[in-house]
Structure 1
Amino acid sequence: MKIVVLSDTHIPKKAKALPDAIIPDLESADLILHAGDWQVPEVYSMLSAFSKVDGVHGNVDGQDVISLFPDKKIIQAGKFTIGLVHGHGTGKTTEKRAIEAFIGEKVDCIIFGHSHIPVHKVTEGILLFNPGSATDKRRQKQFSYGILEVGEKLSAKHVYFGG
């Protein structure tokens, strides 16, 4: 199973449409996960043209997006459990807030966004993954998104493009 992971698309504020560079992976995705800051619900419609879409809302999403997506979600992908959260809040780092969102819950992976900084590491046996942003790289060298491959193992990678 191929899962394309996005966050912080901020459409139409930072881009008018999905970047061309991500389209081939969207076309071959079995599932698309979005970790919040969609900006507008039309992003859901854009992504739904390619595959099944699921996600959470972020701190800049309005009531129209909040009505579609919760602030936190657990998804089953094959034999793996994935926690999905935006990661915004006060105090601590985005990564620590994302981890704390799932304390007491058994997850194999936590996907989060908010910082626009790509993260890919394992902490206490949990894969932590932030795809970065495909439309708003901020202080990063390149735009990015992620791909999770779900099979006997769960693996993640970033895809970087532009500059």
Structure 2
Amino acid sequence: MNDICRLGILSDTHLTTLGDALEFSFGLKNGLFAEVDAILHAGDIILPELESCFDDIPFYAVRGNMDPARPGLPVKRVLRFAGFRIGLIHGWGAPDEVPTRVLNEFSGQTLDVLIFGHSHQPFLERRGSLLLFNPGSALEHRGRAERCSVGLLDLGAEAMARHVYL
């Protein structure tokens, strides 16, 4: 019996065609995300149909700066999985300022994990008991030496995250 909740973490997919979304989701569903309990997307989805490409995997997202406002796509949210409180937001501004900005956005709230995007740069840092995590961009690395990346978040005795380079 598996007592760990595993979440697939995405951000900044910037997909524009259904064909690309189907190919992208198929690869993840049959690979890295084959055993996830849910998918969290930290914004800049662009193509709303991406959610339905993941079939019956629960999909939670927030609006990024490139996403139009639409029902069911809040700017930020707090989710609960396996007893952990997870903040989800896109972020804004200069890449090195994003962690501070998103932390301030959840000021006064108790979180165990804060997931964000926007910078396209993988980020993983503990600040006290809070785990800050940016999976990077799944499809646009913006000239960085690293390849595109997604994240896996395991929730068991503690929250453990890792980047997976595609």
TM range (shorter): 0.7 to 0.9
Match of 1:60 among 66, 80, 95: 66
Question: Structure 1: which 5+ runs fail to align?
Answer: none
Distance 1:27 1:157 in 2: 16
| Match in the other structure for 1:33 | 40
Equivalent residue letter for 1:34: H
Residue 73 of structure 2 corresponds to residue 45 of structure 1:
no
* Partner Cα separation in structure 2 for residue 50 and residue 133 of structure 1: 23
Residue 128 of structure 1 is matched in structure 2 by: 132
RMSD: 2.0
TM-score (normalised: structure 2): 0.86
Offset at 1:21?
5.0
| TM-score, normalising length: structure 1 | 0.88
Instruction: Report the CA distance between 1:139 and its aligned residue.
Output: 2.6
Moved over 4 A (4+): 89-92
SS at match of 1:96: helix
Instruction: Name which of 2, 13, 19 aligns with 2:6.
Output: 2
For 2:40, give the aligned amino acid.
L
Moved more, 138-147 or 86-95: 86-95
Match of 1:101 in 2: 105
Alignment of 1:76-91 (within 5 A): 76-89=80-93
Shift of 1:19: 6.3
Cα distance change on mapping 1:32 and 1:91 into 2, 3 Å: closer
Residue 156 of structure 1 aligns to a residue in which SS? Answer: strand
Q: Are positions 1:139 and 2:143 aligned together?
A: yes
Give the fraction of aligned pairs with identical amino acids, expressed as a percent. Answer: 36
1-structure distance, mates of 2:78, 2:45:
19
| Alignment deviations for residues 58-102 of structure 1 (CA, whole Å, 9 cap, x no partner) | 000013xx3221001001111211100001258971111111111
- 1:56 maps to a residue whose letter is V
Contact 1:19 1:134 in 2 (8 A): no
**Distance in 1 separating the partners of 2:137 and 2:96:** 21
Question: What is the Cα deviation at residue 157 of structure 1?
Answer: 0.5
Question: CA 1:142–1:74 in 2, change beyond 3 Å: closer, same or farther?
Answer: same
Matches within 5 A, 1:101-120: 101-120=105-124
Aligned pair count?
157
Q: What code does the residue aligned with 1:67 have?
A: P
